[in-house]
Structure 1
């Protein structure tokens, strides 16, 4: 994925403002006041096509070299993609060593990845173990609401040995305040609400994608998820570094936002049979 997001043109912003003014005028002409935006409305200048696992990480935490691996266990190469990549050549990705992939399915409650079908099914058909992830907007609607939207639009799981658990991408807010205006306790409650709803719908607790810095700032480094939710940690450096509280090891490490594979580069912390074991539940 690109290291920096494309610029947002002023023309697009003017279009959004004109549409908002037109809506307000229409409401007044009908004899009523304009209805304020609901809590589940999309953020201003909504750009879900620019949001993906790690889209905010480099800007906040930088890049600090490539992995210098001396792992205690074997590592398995994989990648994650979103609409940024469009139609992915999965045969080529497999030939270059990819063994698993995560695909963005949804964001908030108003966006589905238009390339999801090609990416999710294409990776499966190329022999990769695949999974779907949701880009969270915790100030947009409740955890349960977003979890249901995610599961209803591709975020499921089946015990076929080829499908990874659903994943929650919770990272720096691309639309404003780092922690989405939530207190640390409210953020923990939101994540738990999402996690429990996914579990009740699919039988699997979601993988949690985050960074140690964001988790520390926005959850108070809460340690209560390590016993149920696998960790997908993002850190673009030579080592995985300190992990969030509650996890003694990462399941997946997103170590770079570009490389030989389409999208972001990931290492599963184990040999391929461990990837299969996670997929089987």
Structure 2
């Protein structure tokens, strides 16, 4: 099966999402931030348009990061903006910045793995966007186990799908930058995906509620914040420990393998992790 969709940003201006939906658009990948980690000026409108007209959505982040610390900031910003939003398609890390190319394969692998860790820990799917040259010559074999959305279109791009340019790899192909779709003024990127994320059963983390249900107070002297429900999971990197009296948002509940109850919590409005419920007092 193939699924036809688009990817959009501020460059498309105000989109009539009803018209986009009416012509059978099956998904949309929305740019979430611009350079400097600023929210794309049309992200809110585009996301809401997809929700209103039932178009499954994902997001992409064009990365300018040249260090692990910088890509961590990018990922945290993405998670902070998404916060309580639901996505059916992945958060795609867009790797095409020429200065990143010079970092070498191993460093790019580290950047991608760090970005992935943060978005997956927040409960979102992860993927990588790049062009075919990057995929063949820059992306490491280790990274190729993830979902790739690959750009490849001809120099004489006329907005149509040219079968001879279809990449052999990836779960998605951006086949033109000169597509035309009712409801969008001017050109728009068009894509074909081979994976139906909308039908795929979401993982347990993707099912977790991210909207706070109540405020909780830590009663233990110190409390580990873990990446999963249970002591077998490692501590969260950003907030590995909470202290007595700290207030957190409790968003969901899970049972550990040993039968104990754990809370899925939000810290500082942006970080998500798990804590043993017996050490949290409802406020």
Higher relative contact order (CA 8 A, sep 6+): 1
- 1:10 maps to what in 2? none
Q: Does residue 125 of structure 1 match 2:52?
A: yes
Of structures 1 and 2, the larger Rg is shown by: 2
Aligned partner (choices 147, 152, 172) of residue 230 of structure 1: 147
Task: Deviation per CA, 1:180-205: give whole Å up to 9, x if none.
Answer: x4122111111111111111122x34
Task: Deviation per CA, 1:246-272: give whole Å up to 9, x if none.
Answer: xxxx222111112232421011215xx
Distance 1:178 1:205 in 2: 23
Q: Does residue 256 of structure 1 match 2:173?
A: no
Aligned partner (choices 104, 127, 136) of residue 183 of structure 1: 104
Richer in helix (by share): 1
Q: Over aligned residues, Cα RMSD in angstroms? A: 2.3
Task: Deviation per CA, 1:22-54: give whole Å up to 9, x if none.
Answer: xxxxxxxxxxxxxxxxxxxxxxxxxxxxxxxxx
Runs of 5+ unmatched residues, structure 2: 155-161, 204-283
Richer in strand (by share): 2
Q: How many residues align?
A: 188
TM-score normalized with structure 2 length: 0.60
* Worse overlay, 261-270 or 90-99: 261-270
Distance 1:99 1:241 in 2: 21
Distance 1:211 1:264 in 2: 13
CA contact (8 A) 2:17 2:53 kept: yes
Q: 1:256 to 1:278 in 2, by over 3 A?
A: farther
Runs of 5+ unmatched residues, structure 1: 1-73, 244-249
Q: CA deviation at 1:118?
A: 0.6
Write out aligned runs for 1:184-203 (5 A).
184-202=105-123
Q: CA deviation at 1:279?
A: 7.4
Task: Deviation per CA, 1:201-246: give whole Å up to 9, x if none.
Answer: 22x3411111120233333xx121333x211111115232343xxx
CA contact (8 A) 1:129 1:279 kept: no
